[in-house]
Structure 1
Amino acid sequence: MRPTVTLVISIQTNRSLWLMADRRLTVANKVLRDDATKICCLDTLDGKAIIGYAGLGATARGMEPSEWISNSLRGLRITIEQALEVLANAARKALPAHLIGVSEQFQHVMLVPAFTKSTHLYSIEYQQKGKEISIGLRRLVKTNRGTSFTPRASAVGSGSELLSRNLHWHHKVCGLVRAFNNEKISGNVVAEELNAICQSVHLALTERGDNSVGNCSIVAWRDLRSGGGNHVSFTGTKMDQYSASIPTIANGMDVSTLAKEMLPHLWDIFPQMEAHRKEGHGEMDQQHPAMKAFIQKTDEIAKELPFEPDERLR
């Protein structure tokens, strides 16, 4: 595989999906910052996916591909594979202009663990050979004795070759995911192990003068049993008290932007909900005047948000 920057690890099972990405942005091995997102969550008509990427971390004007991915899929009520085809086509139009002058050894890879009726792993890969540029969508499978299957774990980007030499990390984290799937441990335990892998790769690369993988990471997961999930971020070995927002598209709705716009109104209604409980009335229902006003405000804000896809990578 050609060189990329960033480390991305995915774990995909029939009960949960996981993706970890380090948060560093670099230019020519110079560290710019350690707070990039590099992940986008996606719910579609037929399933769920998490999209991570290694390669271009941000444009010259500062737009991160995670925002561009979200914008490109906004307003589209389609299936997982249709969404990834949209994204691959958008990448063909948008990515080359931002990679002018980059060595043809550079590669931009999106890694996508997904679940529809079964578990899948996809990639969208940018490759350049001379003046020839190709960007293709692939479903990744392994074959054993004539049988094809989705790999349980995968890693791309800087440092992935270190992980391919020693599969101890693979066995350990997959064992923890199995325990999570059996409701024996929390998602945070798996996230901590994925972050520990990132830390070990960061230290190994730093020792040889490679700054492409940082010591900050973000981990997202989807619990396919409950339909829920979460994400956490880390600075070094410590989990951050407040995790950065992750762009999220749910059947075309830009959930993360809606949540950001609604945050001030949530702070307004929380004290009223708490007072309602303390007065012995239980949870505030939708007919309560304060809740009705909150729901109305949510509808008003949702109608004002952009609902058309925007494939511009600025």
Structure 2
Amino acid sequence: MTTIEDNQKTRVRHIALCDYALVTLVFSLHSRYTMWLVADRRLSYGANIPPIDDAVKILNLETTDGVGLLAYAGLGATSQGTQPSEWMKGVLRGRGGLTFEQALGVLSSAANRELPRHLIGFPKGASRSHSIISPAFIRGVGARLYSIDTVIENRKTYHRYTSHQHIDRPGSPCLRLAAGGTGAGHLNKIARQDVRWRRDLLGLLNAHDHGKISDYLIADRLAKISYETHQAVPATVGPRCIVVWRRRQDMRQPTSGGGHQFYTGTDRDKISDAIPTITNGIDIQSIAGIFMDHFMEKISEHGMKLTDSELDTAKLNRLLAKLPSEPDEKLR
């Protein structure tokens, strides 16, 4: 198991793991041009309540200088049902003009204040910890990997915000593969037993960078890895997952910014809902949701021949005006 420390000076040949036993699976990968992240959807409530496999443990974040993904292992939802992905969206909403690292700094401070009182309520024997893993691309720098960790141990709270690089010099390469959660131990075991496993994955990413294979071939492979991890660790890693991919913004060749796909087992779901998204402080998911709901309402009234004039712009403006626009750091 690789220990995560600030200014780490060791080269990593296997998967970089968070050094706590967490409940869930998060697995991220970087190539030269794309980042990939898979997270399972399980919410566990203890031995007496069946788990639920409908969580969305990912936030898509774009800032003035970069693009990245945030996924987490640990707290799946508060006692009031708030998922941390929605909370993270609220923390970063309305905060335009930040760099990617500044945005993570804001989130780190909020996590240090808000998470401990929820982690303290974990069942006896459970790891009272929460880890956010964030692969990113920063303009002029390239691939970066960050984490935000909050741990309660012996009634003390430990918190850290880390950039993971092979050596401590600024601009040095980041770790290309990272995993967190109880499923991370399974992936680390595979990587150590089969040296080709990691190499083959990175080879697929390289072939994808050169246009030889599609986005969905990589996504299907990551969904398969998630499902195999569920089979190995069925109590804490669920059978459903979400795969998200994003491209670096300074690519020379024109291409889409990325996409995402929901899976049940290794099968693609027919519908992949929107995931929480903050773009320069703007809550894109909520805005798009209002437009989509209104569009579907009008289609049911007018059919597929709906015209722009049949949209109720006054109603849309009223609904948009009701959306919160200020940050909310409270984790309820």
Match of 1:249 among 250, 275, 278: 278
Aligned AA (1:193): R
Q: Which range is displaced more, 103-112 or 17-26? A: 103-112
Tell me, yes or no, if the aligned pair for 1:4 and 1:157 is still in contact at 8 Å.
Answer: yes
% identical equivalent positions: 37
What's the offset of the Cα at 1:16? 1.1
Alpha-carbon distance between aligned partners in 2 of 1:51 and 1:88, rounded to the nearest angstrom: 12
Structure 2 residue 161 is the aligned partner of structure 1 residue 141: no
Aligned to 2:177: 153
Q: 1:22/1:70 Cα in 2 relative to 1: closer, same or farther (>3 Å)?
A: same
Secondary structure of the 2:206 match is helix
Match of 2:93 among 69, 74, 77: 74
Structure 2 residue 148 is the aligned partner of structure 1 residue 127: no
Alpha-carbon distance between aligned partners in 1 of 2:300 and 2:32, rounded to the nearest angstrom: 36
Alpha-carbon distance between aligned partners in 1 of 2:236 and 2:86, rounded to the nearest angstrom: 21
Gaps of 5+ in 2: 1-18
Deviations 1:121-172 (A, max 9, x none): 000001222121022110011249xx94211111111121121122244333
Alpha-carbon distance between aligned partners in 1 of 2:305 and 2:82, rounded to the nearest angstrom: 42
Tell me, yes or no, if the aligned pair for 2:108 and 2:148 is still in contact at 8 Å.
Answer: yes
Aligned to 1:304: 322
What's the offset of the Cα at 1:272? 8.8
Aligned to 1:263: 292
Secondary structure of the 2:233 match is helix
Aligned to 1:280: none
Between Structure 1 and Structure 2, the one with more strand by share is 1
Deviations 1:223-258 (A, max 9, x none): 224352111111112110001321000111101111
What's the offset of the Cα at 1:273? 11
Secondary structure of the 1:149 match is coil
Structure 2 residue 128 is the aligned partner of structure 1 residue 106: yes
Alpha-carbon distance between aligned partners in 2 of 1:22 and 1:91, rounded to the nearest angstrom: 22
Secondary structure of the 2:292 match is helix
Q: 1:150/1:274 Cα in 2 relative to 1: closer, same or farther (>3 Å)?
A: same
**TM-score when scaled to structure 1?**
0.86
Q: Which range is displaced more, 168-177 or 183-192? A: 168-177
Aligned to 2:186: 162
Number of residue pairs matched by the alignment: 298
Alpha-carbon distance between aligned partners in 1 of 2:94 and 2:52, rounded to the nearest angstrom: 31
Deviations 1:36-93 (A, max 9, x none): 0000100111110100000100011111000000011001111111110111111111
Aligned AA (1:19): L
Aligned AA (1:95): L
Aligned to 2:206: 178
Aligned AA (2:207): A
Gaps of 5+ in 1: 277-283
- Aligned 1:180-259 pairs, distance under 5 A: 180-206=208-234, 211-224=235-248, 225=251, 226=255, 228-259=257-288
Aligned AA (2:271): Y
RMSD in angstroms over aligned alpha carbons? 2.7
Match of 2:80 among 61, 68, 75: 61
What's the offset of the Cα at 1:303? 3.4
Aligned to 2:24: 6
Alpha-carbon distance between aligned partners in 1 of 2:188 and 2:217, rounded to the nearest angstrom: 23
Alpha-carbon distance between aligned partners in 2 of 1:120 and 1:205, rounded to the nearest angstrom: 29
What's the offset of the Cα at 1:295? 7.0
**TM-score when scaled to structure 2?**
0.81
Aligned to 1:281: none
Aligned to 1:86: 106
Q: 1:242/1:127 Cα in 2 relative to 1: closer, same or farther (>3 Å)?
A: same
Aligned to 1:279: none
Tell me, yes or no, if the aligned pair for 1:173 and 1:194 is still in contact at 8 Å.
Answer: no
Structure 2 residue 56 is the aligned partner of structure 1 residue 27: no
Q: Which range is displaced more, 126-135 or 193-202? A: 126-135
Tell me, yes or no, if the aligned pair for 1:20 and 1:195 is still in contact at 8 Å.
Answer: yes
Tell me, yes or no, if the aligned pair for 2:42 and 2:53 is still in contact at 8 Å.
Answer: yes
Tell me, yes or no, if the aligned pair for 1:258 and 1:301 is still in contact at 8 Å.
Answer: no
Structure 1 runs (4+) deviating above 6 angstroms are: 269-274, 294-297
